[in-house]
């Protein structure tokens, strides 16, 4: 598959660009990598809290109830029902939806249909409410007009397209 070259190719391009621009490539790398570790460090408390909460949610049977309620509609649309809780939480909480994503990986495997759809969904959407709050909040915008509606419509489209693209391209 020619696509296998994309990742190493991207890395090589970045390094060659740096060399041409006479940037100290390795120093840049280590500076960025240190930033990555800091990201991980700041992610840890959120993730521990939310993975425990989501684990409780799953083992209590609450998440089965949601999946069960949504399953007739999902089956009709060819959408994996295991992902429904994640679709609901995705625009509201980044950490929470990441925790649900790990549940899907654990139950179905990352390379299963549900696992791949969940991956695409996680990769192609943002924490909508957070982004709106950060950008408009910091600029003192009180009236957001149709922003939320347009953004949620985009999130919904991403969920539908995640299932469609995985079915057409990966299976």
Interaction residues for other proteins, span 80-119 (CB under 8 A): 89, 91-93, 95-96, 98-99, 101-102, 105-106, 109-111, 115-116, 119
Least separation in angstroms between residue 75's CB and other proteins is 21
CA 130 to chain centre: 14
User: Mask: binding to other proteins, 5-34, rule CB under 8 A, as x and -?
Assistant: -xx--xx-xxx-xxxxx-x-x--xxxxxx-
Q: By CB under 8 A, name the one of 69, 73, 77, 153 that touches other proteins.
A: 153
Least separation in angstroms between residue 78's CB and other proteins is 15
Closest CA to 169 of 119, 125, 130: 119
- Judged by beta carbon, residue 71 or residue 112, the one nearer other proteins is 112
Q: By CB under 8 A, name the one of 5, 44, 68, 73 that touches other proteins.
A: 44
- Judged by beta carbon, residue 40 or residue 73, the one nearer other proteins is 40
Question: 100: which 2 tokens?
Answer: 């649900």
Closest CA to 94 of 121, 116, 117: 121
Question: 168: which 2 tokens?
Answer: 């057409």
Neighbours of 131 (CB within 10 A): 14
Closest CA to 158 of 101, 130, 118, 131: 118
Least separation in angstroms between residue 72's CB and other proteins is 21
Least separation in angstroms between residue 127's CB and other proteins is 8
In angstroms, rounded to a whole number, what is the distance separating the alpha carbons of residues 89 and 110? 19
């Amino acid at each position: 598959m020619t696509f296998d070259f994309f990742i190493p190719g991207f890395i090589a391009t970045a390094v060659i660009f740096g060399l041409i621009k006479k940037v100290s490539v390795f120093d840049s790398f280590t500076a960025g990598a240190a930033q990555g570790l800091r990201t991980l460090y700041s992610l840890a408390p959120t993730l521990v809290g939310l993975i425990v909460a989501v684990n409780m949610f799953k083992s209590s049977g609450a998440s089965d109830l949601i999946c069960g309620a949504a399953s007739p509609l999902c089956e009709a649309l060819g959408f994996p029902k295991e992902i429904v809780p994640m679709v609901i939480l995705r625009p509201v909480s980044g950490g929470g939806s990441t925790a649900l994503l790990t549940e899907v990986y654990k139950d179905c495997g990352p390379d299963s249909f549900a696992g791949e759809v969940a991956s695409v969904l996680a990769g192609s959407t943002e924490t909508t409410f957070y982004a709106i709050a950060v950008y408009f909040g910091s600029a003192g915008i009180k009236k957001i007009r149709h922003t939320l509606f347009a953004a949620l419509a985009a999130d919904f489209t991403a969920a539908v397209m995640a299932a469609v693209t995985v079915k057409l391209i990966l299976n």
